[in-house]
Every structure is written in structure tokens, then in C-alpha cells.
Amino acid sequence: MDILSETVAAIRTGSPASGLFVRHAPWGRRYPKVPGAGFHVVLQGSCWVVPPGGEPIALGAGDVLFMPRGEHHDLLDALGTPISEIAQPGEPREIAGPGARTVLVCGAYELGRQRSHPLLDELPEFIHLPARPGRHPALRSAVDLLAAEIAEPRPGTDAAIPALLDTLLLFMLRAWFDERPAPTGWAGAFTDPAVAAALRAIHAAPERAWTVPELSALAGVSRATLARRFLATVGEPPLSYLTRWRMLTAARLLRDTDMPLAGVARKVGYQSEFAFAKAFKREYGVAPGQYRRAEEQPAVLAV
């Protein structure tokens, strides 16, 4: 059971969006907050990202900027350039001008709207992954493939781009965790054998009535040790995370399948539809059926 892949699959919804943008200085774009995660990749030239209330971030060719919660920000050719456009669907992909040329791939991922995951919750609003020789070659390869498909569409591009975007998301997260000097939080959860074993068990069988003694036996450590290390890395006790994972799994089944509510309930460990509906509403604020109907209306992501 691949914990990172399962987690991303559970919180990803809808279809990702992306586009290739060419701008000539002077230019300034405003990106409103989006209901998901966003990214920018500089293919040519350079620019600045101005976060709300934060220090500007200089981006050069090859740099990747990831925004796990889609925070609003400005993208400028140079500090002090006024905003001349706001990111929105259907805008021009290339705008000519007298100054230096900057080429970017920008994209966004729709994420679950009512309930997040601690893996994303612990990430900073802006993650800058500079282009460094020899660092994150898989991420660089995914960027190159995505840019090529967007720049020159060919037969199969419509299928290739969503797959590449999903791959890029995983590689950005992997790169961030690899950059951590001392594995803490979820980076620590992936590298701690006992915590990882307990997480794999929960992810593989959320319908099972797990107990801490059972999980600690699988992990090969004492109950107290597992509880302490699980809390330190994942951010909550094992059985609390089990409930969270059950609800995220249920939400995914409600979004992506037409499985009856009773079937969804059994898949996540509830013997009765009533008990499941009560637990789901406590977490999401709406009944399962209402959640399913609401998720049928996809969000529009501007890139």
C-alpha cells in the first residue's frame, strides 16, 4: 500500500487544469484563491511571486512553485509592475510586448472541499523548488513532458496531460519531503517503519475495527511507542486517523462511484447506513447523499 499515492487519490477530485503562458515585460497577473492546489513552472525567463503579506519569491528558469491550498498571489515580471490581468478561464495564452519574454506552465488541482488531509495541512502556503543541477530529476522530466504536450498537442495529448499533471503533483510532494533536512511530520511518517506499517494497515483495510494493540503488533513496537510516534508524525492518534481515513475514503466513493450508501458504509467499517450517515455528517457537515449531489458540480479552476 503506497501511502502517498493513496492519500493524493483520496483528496484529488475533478480534472486538473493547466496552460502554457507567454508574457512580455511589463506584465502582472493576479491569481485569486482557488478551491484546490496550484503550481507555476518557469520554462524561460524569470518572474516574481508576491504572496499576501509575505516576502516576494524570485523564480528563474526551471523553478517550480507549488501552492498546496491555492493561496491567492501576484505574479510579476519585476517588483513594482502594476497588475494588468486577473487569471480566469479563456484568457489569452500569449500577450506580446516590448520587453523580456517569460514562458510559464501554470496549473491547478481540485481538492476535496469540506475535509482536507493532515499531509496537506502541514505544508506551507508556498513551496519553492529551485532548479538545481542533479536535484529531483523525475520532477524535471515530468515538467519537460508536460510542457511539450501543452506546447505541441499531438494525438493522445488529451489523455497524456491529465496523467502528467497527476504525476507532477506526486513528484512535487516527493521533492518537498526529500528537501526536509530532518524528517518531521508526514516526512517522518514515511520514514518511520513503525508508523508507516500502521498507516499501510489502515489504508489497506479501513473497514476493519482496528485497535492500537493490533496496529502496534503489526508495527513491531509497544502500544505506547506507536501512539507516541504516530502522534508526533501524523499529528493525531492512530484511531483518530482511522476515522479520518474512513471518511476520506467514503467521500471518494461518493464522488467517484455510484455505489449505494449501504455499500459505502460497509466499505469504511460501518454495519448500518444510519451510523455511517451520522458519522459522515459530523465530519463533513452534510449527509452523504447531499455531499454526492454537491460534488457532481465541478469547480472551475482558473490557471
2-49 pLDDT, tens digit per residue, is: 888 888 888 888 788 899 999 999 999 999 998 889 999 999 999 999
Task: Output the pTM of the full model.
Answer: 0.87
- Shared-domain flag, residues 126 and 23: yes
- Shared-domain flag, residues 102 and 222: no
| Residue carrying C-alpha cell 511507542 | 225
**pLDDT for the residue 175:** 92
Using DSSP, state whether 236 is helix, strand or coil.
Answer: coil
Of the pLDDT bands very low, low, confident and very high (cuts 50, 70, 90), residue 186 is confident
Using DSSP, state whether 191 is helix, strand or coil.
Answer: helix
Look up the CATH number of the domain holding residue 144: 2.60.120.280
How many independent structural domains does the chain possess?
2
Q: Smallest Cα–Cα separation from 175: which of 63, 287, 76? A: 63
- Shared-domain flag, residues 195 and 49: no
- pLDDT above 80 (res 275): yes
- Shared-domain flag, residues 129 and 201: no
Would you say residue 170 lies in a domain? yes
Question: Considering 164, 179, 194, which residue would you say is the last residue of a domain?
Answer: 179
- Shared-domain flag, residues 161 and 219: no
- Shared-domain flag, residues 64 and 155: yes
Tell me the mean pLDDT in the region 144-162: 93
pLDDT higher for 224 or 181?
A: 224
- pLDDT above 80 (res 194): yes
- Shared-domain flag, residues 257 and 114: no
Of the pLDDT bands very low, low, confident and very high (cuts 50, 70, 90), residue 118 is confident
**pLDDT for the residue 105:** 94
d(CA 30, CA 302): 11
Would you say residue 289 lies in a domain? yes
- Shared-domain flag, residues 171 and 194: no
- Shared-domain flag, residues 229 and 265: yes
Domain containing residue 201: 186-295
- Shared-domain flag, residues 174 and 41: yes
- pLDDT above 70 (res 267): yes
Number of H helices, E strands in the chain: 12, 11
**pLDDT for the residue 261:** 96
Widest CA span in the chain: 68
